Amino acid sequence: MSNGAEVKIGLVTDTHYWQRDTPYVTSEGAVQLQPWSEQILNALLDALRAAQLDLVVHLGDLVCGGGGYKMPGEEYEQAMRYVHRRLHELDVPVVALPGNHDLYPGKGDLHEFYGLWQYQEGLGKTIDLPQAQLILLNTMGHSPEQIQSAPDGDPVYGMVSQRELRRLEELLFSSDSRPALLFTHQVLLPWNHRKSWKDYYGVHNAQDVLSLIGRSKRVRAVFQGHAHRLNIQEYAWHSGRRCVFATLPGTIEYPVAWMLLSLRDAEARLQLQRLPLPEICAISARSGDGQYWREGEPGWWDYHFALSV
């Protein structure tokens, strides 16, 4: 990890790797790009290498487990191990958060993910950088009852366990004076842009997390996956302090992109990085009623915010 003036972090989410013959099509007619999973993964790894990063963070949904996709268990296991191996071909540290589609299909457990990525069940991880403390918040901390009552054992929405909430509280209210950056799979703060909000995008006990963020003076930004779209908003707390909430696009749908997060001194910069796959990208972009809205506003494609608190 670089100790210099700048740290470059690659943010990846919702790869939904499953090399199969047919794409998954949503109820709204949006085409996902599973048949091109290998080509997308290869292009992604090439782009991450070329960016000369210090760290890669995957925000979850590495594969097509959980509900909806009906991925066979054996193919789930193979895909999960394959994506883990390929990501670790990079010459930089790689960490990942679990998403709901990283659940074992039909079983509703994350044992395969936790074993590969070395997690304690229901807990996240912390990465300490000179510029900031990175808190990977596990939003897959559902109770057994919540898993069992959900179709296919996949609640879709997020849940932060009580142990994980305590870990977050201890981190945010420690004596550490560095700014904190949070990373989640499901979305903590609903958006108000283009497509309407659905509760399954969110975290069931998001208010508990937001309360901690609001009381703390350290959190400068929250980076979220799950929704396959770019959306950035700054939320002002009662104190006047502001926090950036960024929902990031996946590589499985338009704009088939990852995000470059650069931390330098007291400033952060978030840049949209489209993979050079225009023909594949167009398949998703033109599907349904058009998926161009997923790329967000042009002002979000190169977004600067203050890192200092």
124: pLDDT strictly greater than 90? yes
Buried b / exposed e over 191-209, threshold 16 CB at 10 Å, is bebeeeeeeebbbbbbeeb
Residue 118: what pLDDT? 95
Over the stretch 173-228, which tens digit does the pLDDT of each residue have? Answer: 999 899 999 999 999 999 988 788 999 999 999 999 999 999 998 999 999 999 99
Residue 4: what pLDDT? 54
Pairing of strands 219-224, 180-184: parallel
Over the stretch 254-264, which tens digit does the pLDDT of each residue have? Answer: 999 999 999 99
For a pLDDT cut of 70, what percent of the chain falls above it? 98
pTM of the model as a whole: 0.96
Over the stretch 62-91, which tens digit does the pLDDT of each residue have? Answer: 999 999 999 999 999 999 999 999 999 999
Among 4-8, 10-14, 222-226, 295-299, the minimum mean pLDDT is found in 4-8
What's the Rg (C-alpha) of the chain? Answer: 18
Confidence band of 309 (pLDDT split at 50, 70, 90):
low
Region 10-39 average pLDDT:
97
